[in-house]
Each structure stands twice: as structure tokens, then as C-alpha cells.
Amino acid sequence: MENVHVLTRQPDNSGDYLPYGQLYSDQNEVSQTHALVTQLQKTLELTKLINMFSVEASRLVQFAGLQFHSTEGVIEMTGSKPEGKNYAFDLVADGERLGQLIYFSQNLTHYAKQKLAKLHTVLVYPLRNALLFSRVKKLATKDALTGLNNRSMFDDSLYRKLERSRRHHRSFGLMLLDLDNFKQVNDSHGHQIGDQVLIDFANILTDCVRGTDTVFRFGGDEFAILIDDDNFDVSHILANRIKKRVHNHQLLKTHGVTTSIGFSLSNAKDIPCSIFERADKALYAAKKDGRDCCKTL
């Protein structure tokens, strides 16, 4: 049977009203708080944490959606809907602002806000730990300059991609790219301009790929894309799209920067070094053939 709020209401000390089903006895409140603490300590994943918390918060108030906004982005509870008014609560732990928790609800009474604020004190320390974990994980897997996945993440992703490819008998593509004339940009105009070229090129790659593809930066001017498709034609379409964007980009055009591309399709016998070696040879062939082109192998 679905949970149904009793329509009869009783006032709290402030004169606000809540359904009886939303009122906690002191004993139940202590018990539920201890249970919530235990649950929140079981994960360092932000999404899981917000979902666990939303279950307990929904015992106190009715809301259609719940979001947590921080420097790590926006995390939503499963099934969150931005319906009704939004009520924002700043979350602070030991003087450090963690972010903002936003409820979407038709109405939150003063009494409900007090109850939620009390519940937030249980959330803030597990939440701070989860935020720290997320930041450390990003440092380990993300390129600091461009925000792309780094070489360590590429190695892990390529291995997992090959395993899935063997299980499902479906190939995928590996594209390696580097920038032509990039060294001259650094030598002539300094690393600040060079860094901007790398950032802009990274943005071009992320704009050109599909949601199922993944972009990486190895370091320097070397990049890679794992393409979730078993068709050579898809790689050529993507390569031409990237080259066109590079040719039309003002900063890259001004400094004569283009891109050379090597591509290979996986096969059933591949291991990480074999498919990488083919794509790398294709990239070398593109460089040897005059640069600003794509070769497959």
C-alpha cells in the first residue's frame, strides 16, 4: 500500500502545521539519525550519498526534487524533478562551505526547515569526505590543464574496452592525434599561448565526439579518442570534422597549428600495446605524408 499522509494536522510551537505522518517522536528521531549516520558512512560516492540522504529527508517533508550544488557540479537524487518552489540550504562543515542543498517542494514550513537543518548536520561530514574523495580521484584521472582524462585513465579505459570487445564480439576505434607546429608556438610565443592552444584543441575534440566516445590527453600535444563504433567510416567522419574545426579556429589558424591523426580498429586478438602500436604507426604515417591528414592502419 502506498504511504498516505493523514489530512488531520496539529500545530507546532511556531504556529506552522505538518501532517501527523511527518512528525517524529524524540525516540524515533534519535533512532533514525543513528541509522542515517551508519548509512552515510558506507559510501564516498556523491550520487549514492545524496540518494541515501534523500530517502531519510523524505520522511520529514514532501519534495519533488533534491539537488546538491558544489564546485564538483550538480548532483541530483534519482527521479529528481524541479517542481514547485526551490528552498536552498548552505552546507558548512567546520567553517568550510561545501555547497548548497536545494529542495523542490510546494511548501516547506518553518518547522520542516528546522527539521531539515538538523538533519543536515548528520550529512555534512560524510559529504565533505565524499567531496575530498571526488577531488582526489579527479587529480588521479584528469589532466590538470585541459580537464580531459589523462594517460592513466586511458590505460585503464583501453584495457576495459578490449575486454568488453571480446565479450560482445564488437570492435571499437582508437584515434591518436597530435598538433602540427605546436613546438614553434611555445618557442615563439611562450607557454601561456601554448597552453591556450592545447585548451582550445581539447575543447574542439570534446565538441566533435559523440557522448559514447572518450577523449584523453597524454601530455604535451598528444591526444587520444576511444571511439565506440566498429565502422571505419565513422572515424573518417570524425577526423574530417576535427580538422575542419581546427582550420576554422582563429587562434590555431593564426599560429599555423593543424592536427595529424592516426586511427586503428580493434580486432579479437588485440592487447593494449598492439592496437596502440597500429594507431601510433598510422599517426607517424600521417606526419610523414605532410601532416594535417588522417591515416588508418
Positions marked catalytic: 221
Tell me 43's DSSP state. -
- How far, in whole angstroms, is CA 281 from its chain's centroid? 32
Question: Residue 201, SS3?
Answer: helix
Contact 127, 66 (CB under 8 A): no
Q: Say which residues have a Cβ less than 8 Å from residue 290's Cβ, sequence separation at least 6.
A: none
Label the pairing between strands 294-296 and 258-265: parallel
Query: What does R_g of the chain's alpha carbons equal in angstroms?
Result: 26
The answer to whether the Cα torsion of 119, 120, 121, 126 is positive or negative is: positive
- Interstrand relation of 9-11 and 17-19 (parallel, antiparallel or unpaired): antiparallel
Contacts of 288 (CB under 8 A, 6+ apart): none
Q: Which residues lie across from 179 on neighbouring strands?
A: 259
In angstroms, rounded to a whole number, what is the distance separating the alpha carbons of residues 282 and 277? 9
* DSSP per-residue string spanning 148-160: SB-HHHHHHHHHH
Q: Distances in Å between the alpha carbon of 17 and those of 12, 61, 88, 179, 274? A: 6, 12, 21, 65, 68
* DSSP letters spanning 52-83: HHHHHHTTT---SEEEEEETTEEEE-TT----
Backbone angles phi, psi at 136, to 5 degrees: -65, -40
How many angstroms separate the CA atoms of 154 and 7, rounded?
56
